[in-house]
Amino acid sequence: MAVSDHVDLSTFMEGVKKRNTGQTEFIQAVQEVAQDVFEFIDDKEEYHEAQILRRIAEPDRVVSFRVCWEDDNHNIRVQRGWRVQNNNAIGPYKGGIRFHPTVTESVLKFLAFEQTFKNSLTGLPMGGAKGGSNFNPSGKSDSEVMRFCQSFMTELYRHIGPDTDVPAGDIGVGGREIGYMFGQYKRITNRWEGVLTGKALEYGGSQMRPEATGYGAVYFLQNMLKHADEDVEGKSAVISGSGNVATHAAEKLVELGGKVLTLSDSGGFIHDPDGIDQEKIDWIKTLKNERRGRISEYVDEFSNASFHEGERPWSVEADLALPCATQNELNEDEAKALVKNGVIAVSEGANMPTTLEGVKVFQEAMIMYGPGKAANAGGVAVSGLEMSQNSERISWNQEKLGDMLTNLMEDIHGKCVEYGEVDGGKAVNYVKGANIAGFKKVADAMLAFGVV
C-alpha cells in the first residue's frame, strides 16, 4: 500500500465505533491513543502495512462467563465475569481484576487496552489484560465475598497461568479477595505458582506492592515538577478516592511535605482545611479496609472537616490534583475549575479519570498532566517484580523494592519526555510521550512475529 492510501484517523475511528457499538469507554481510550500514534506512524510504512494499531485495538480474546454463588440468606445469585486478554506481544497477559457494579465489557476492554501501553512503558515483559465482574462487594459479608471469589476463580483458572496471564487487584479487589482467589486456584490445580500478584507476604506477595500505585503516582508527579524546577514540598493537593491508590498517594504526598485537602468515595468528598495527615490517613485505612465504612464518617471524627454529598473534590483550590478513584471522574468543567484555581500539575492514580474534553483543557492551559497509563504504572511494575520474585523463589526487601520503584517511575517519566517534548523542548505532552513510547515497543514486537 502506498503511503498516500493510508486510512486517516477519522476513518480508523469510524471503524472502531462500528465494530464496538455502544462501548463508549473503549472507544474513548482508543481515540486518545490513536490521535498520537497516527501522527507518529505517518511516515512509518511498516506499521501501516502490518495494521499494527488496528490489531492492538482488537483484543486477542474476550472471555465472558457466568458466576453463580449463594448469599447468606441462601438465595442463588448470578453475576457476569470477564477476562479481556488484549495483547501478549511482549510478555504474559497482565492486569487487574475489578469487582464493581459499573463493570461492563466496554470498561474492561478500555482497561485492557490501556494496560497494554502501560505495561510496555514499565520496560518489564508484560502484556495487557483486565478482568472483573459486576459483583458489588460493598455490604457483603466475608463469607459471601469468599463464595463469590471461589466461584469466579472456578471458571477463571482455566484461562490464566504464571506464563499465560497473571491477574492482580483493582477496584473492589484487595488483599482479602486476592487471598480467596489464590486459595481456590491452588485448590483446583494443586499447584502453588505465581498466578496472581498483590498476594500477602505470607504466601508469595511482594513488599511495596500495596503502596506502589499511589507512591508511584506521586513519584511521577515529583519527576514532572522537577523537570519544571518545582517541588512537592509546601504544595496543597486535592485527591479523589479513598481506596488503595488514593490513601497511598496521600501518604507519600504528606511524607514529601505536601498538604492533602480532600479524599472521596462514591458518596461524596471530604474537605479538611487542616490537612489530612498520616494519623488521619491511618484512620481512613482502618475505616475502609477493616470497618468497610463510608468517607462521610470522617467528619464525625475530625470536626474541622466538611462532607460534600454527591460531589467531587475538583472545586477546592489547590496546587496539585490526583484523581485516584475511577474513570471519567473529572470532566471539562471540573478541569476548567482546577485550572482557574491555579493547579499546576495533575497526576492520575486512576485509569482514564479525565474525560477527553478535560484532557484538552489541561493541555491548552499547558499545565503538567501525567496520564494514568504513565503515572499509575508503579503498581503493575511492582507486580512484575512480584512475578520475578515468585519465579526465582526469593523475596526482596522493602528498601530494594522502594529503590526499584523510584527508578522505574523516573524511567517512565524519561520515556514520556523523550517522545513527548513539544514547543522545541520547552514543554512536555505526557499523553503523547506515553502513547508513543508504549506503542513502539509493542508494535516492534508484533512486527517481528509477522501476521499472527
Catalytic residues: 130
Annotate 366-395 with DSSP letters as a single string: T-EEE-HHHHTTHHHHHHHHHHHHHHHT--
Total interface residues for ligand NDP by CB under 6 A? 26
- Choosing from 102, 315, 388, 406, the residue that interacts with ligand NDP (CB under 6 A) is 102
- Piece of the chain touching ligand NDP by CB under 6 A; list 43-51, 149-157, 347-355, 410-418: 347-355
Q: Is 128 in the site for ligand NDP (CB under 6 A)?
A: no
Q: Name the residue number minimizing CB distance to ligand NDP.
A: 243
Q: How far is the CB of 121 from ligand NDP (least distance, A)?
A: 12
Does 347 interact with ligand NDP (rule: CB under 6 A)? no
Binding residue for ligand NDP (CB under 6 A) from 59, 91, 241, 313?
241
Rule CB under 6 A: is residue 384 a binding residue for ligand NDP? no
The reply to whether 348 sits near ligand NDP by the rule CB under 6 A is no
Amino acid at 248: H
Shortest distance (Å) from residue 5 CB to ligand NDP: 39
Binder among 32, 114, 144, 170 for ligand NDP (CB under 6 A):
170
- Name the residue nearer to ligand NDP (CB basis): 52 or 265: 265
**What does residue 406 show for φ and ψ, rounded to 5 degrees?**
-60, -45
Cβ neighbors of 405 (< 8 A, separation 6 or more) are 208, 212, 215, 216, 219, 378, 381, 382
Nearer to ligand NDP, 127 or 243 (CB): 243
What is the distance between the alpha carbons of residues 150 and 356, in angstroms, rounded to a whole number? 37
Residue 170 CA, distance from chain mean position: 8
Q: Please report whether residue 244 would count as binding ligand NDP according to CB under 6 A.
A: yes
State the CB neighbour count (10 A cutoff) for residue 277.
Answer: 14
CB closer to ligand NDP, 90 vs 171 = 171
Return the C-alpha cell found at 147.
Answer: 463464595
> Quick check: 169 binds ligand NDP (CB under 6 A)?
yes
Task: Please pick, from the candidates 127, 194, 349, 370, the single residue that binds ligand NDP as defined by CB under 6 A.
Answer: 349
Spatial distance between the Cα atoms of 230 and 347, rounded to a whole number of angstroms? 14
With H, G, I as helix, E, B as strand and everything else as coil, classify residue 259: strand
Query: In terms of Cα–Cα distance, which of 128, 161, 135 is closest to 55?
Result: 128
Residue with cell 475549575: 337
Q: Output the nine-digit C-alpha cell for 289.
A: 479496609
Q: Tell me: does residue 420 bind ligand NDP (CB under 6 A).
A: no
Residue 404 belongs to what H/E stretch? helix 398-420
C-alpha cell at 188: 483446583
**What is the side-by-side order of every strand in the sheet holding 61-70?**
61-70, 76-87, 128-133, 93-99, 165-168
- When binding is defined by CB under 6 A, the residue of 28, 154, 266, 331 that contacts ligand NDP is 266
Are residues 277 and 258 in contact, defined by beta-carbon separation less than 8 angstroms? no
Q: Per-residue string for binding with ligand NDP, 307-346, x by CB under 6 A? A: -----------------xxx--x-----------------
User: Binding of ligand NDP at residue 243 (CB under 6 A)?
Assistant: yes
Q: Which of positions 36-95 make contact with ligand NDP (CB under 6 A)?
A: none
- Catalog residues that contact ligand NDP under the rule CB under 6 A: 100, 102, 169-172, 174, 213, 241-246, 265-267, 324-326, 329, 349-351, 376, 379
